[in-house]
Amino acid sequence: MDKIKVGIIGFGTVGSGTYKVLTENFQEIKNKTGLSFQVNKIADLNKELVVEKIGNADLYTDNINEVIEYSDIVVELIGGTTIAREVVEKALTKKKHVVTANKALIALYGKDLFALAEKNNIALMYEAAVAGGIPIIKTIREGLVGNKISWVVGILNGTTNYILSEMKNNGLSFETALKQAQELGYAEADPTFDIEGIDAAHKITILASIVFGIPLNFSETFVEGIRSLDLADVSYAEELGYRIKLLGIAKNNNNKIEIRVHPTLIPSSRLIANVDGPMNAILVNGNMVGPTLYYGAGAGSEATASAVVADIVDIGRLIHQNVIPLIPNYGFQENSLTHKNIANISEITSGFYLRIPIRDSSGVLANITKFFASKNISIDAMTQKESKSSIDQKTDVLIVVKLAKESIIDEIIKDIQSKEFCLSKIIKIRLELLNK
């Protein structure tokens, strides 16, 4: 079969981009594969939108079943986890190969969907679900297959990276930077999934699974967003030689897996610290290759569609050769998957930045250092800022600890917070050196 029929369900930003890549680069793809990929049907709630973008009403249908029935490959680009899940399940049951860019669907329901695909000896591919146009899933499952990966760290959400870049580079408050991101189209009218870290958490959950060979388990991923991040801490971090990024982090720590998303200080000398604007970057540490960095557009019509089409082409080759998928969905053989313990955030060991608002008076710094000494925690850097007011002598003490257990740092914070010299909430931001 040299002609592969593709059905697209959902014709928004990524759906229209997928159609554009398949049609405009038709000859390029055919030259590389020997196959002709033909968009056979497009389903969307908005017929006018489809016809306007492609100029052909014949391809449009409002019947999802029709797309599934008359396609070799079904491309689900609806988003969400209700109708999209029904569509994917129906297509897989009908023994139709599926491509999706739906990170929430994979993170929450991937386990069952993968099992259904395997039962029917068909492919369910999801490259575009993580980091848009960066082929990170293919890289990990194929390019780094000879490595044991100890950790993966990523800037996985362009909206939050744009906001943090504007706070750092232009001194904007969080609220102002968010409004600007919305005006430029980098943030949705309701940006909750982005700024609360949920979008990045879906993605790091997927990456953790294919890196460590563990079942998808979004419910155990720790999530903390950037909504409460203060411009003062972005500026202070810069002074100390760090940048703050919203990172998705997955680590194998003595067979206990950490999966977490939160604002993180990283040394400004690291390449990933200098990824600005709405871009994505992923740093993967393999035991043979060492750390490797992948950078590019994490969203957008054509960038994400590029990853969708890569999956379509891979499936087209399988169809042409009449073989079942050779690469496991997780990147590990099913009988090699392990149910490893996921670490609670209180158990992790990392670095920490603390901002302690104090009343500047004699003996305060000595008192603060005693709390750390009592827990055998070494302070790597401590700075007292100038008093903000000559009347009440309010100021900030900045402390950097490069290695400590989270639960112990929380105990120290609680003890300091109870003292009279501590004037308001202590700010804690985790720190990662990314050097081994």
E-only strand ranges, 101-224: 124-125, 149-155, 222-223
**Please, are residues 172 and 180 in contact by the beta-carbon 8 Å criterion?**
yes
**Please, are residues 78 and 87 in contact by the beta-carbon 8 Å criterion?**
yes
**Please, are residues 43 and 83 in contact by the beta-carbon 8 Å criterion?**
no
Q: How far apart are CA 353 and CA 241, in angstroms?
A: 12
**Please, are residues 41 and 96 in contact by the beta-carbon 8 Å criterion?**
no
Provide the token pair at 161.
């990276």
Q: Which residue from 122, 71, 124, 69 is spatially nearest to 102, judged by alpha carbons?
A: 124
Question: What are the phi and psi torsion angles at 212 (to 5°)?
Answer: -110, -5
Q: How far apart are CA 89 and CA 400, in angstroms?
A: 49
Residue 203 is a catalytic residue: yes
Question: Which whole-number Å values give the CA distances from 129 to 325, 347, 354, in the listed order?
Answer: 19, 29, 34
Annotated active-site residue in 41, 103, 168, 203: 203
**Please, are residues 257 and 250 in contact by the beta-carbon 8 Å criterion?**
yes
Amino acid found at 242 = Y
Length of the chain counted residue by residue: 436
Radius of gyration of the chain (CA): 24
Amino acid found at 94 = K
**Please, are residues 419 and 363 in contact by the beta-carbon 8 Å criterion?**
no
Residues annotated as catalytic are: 203
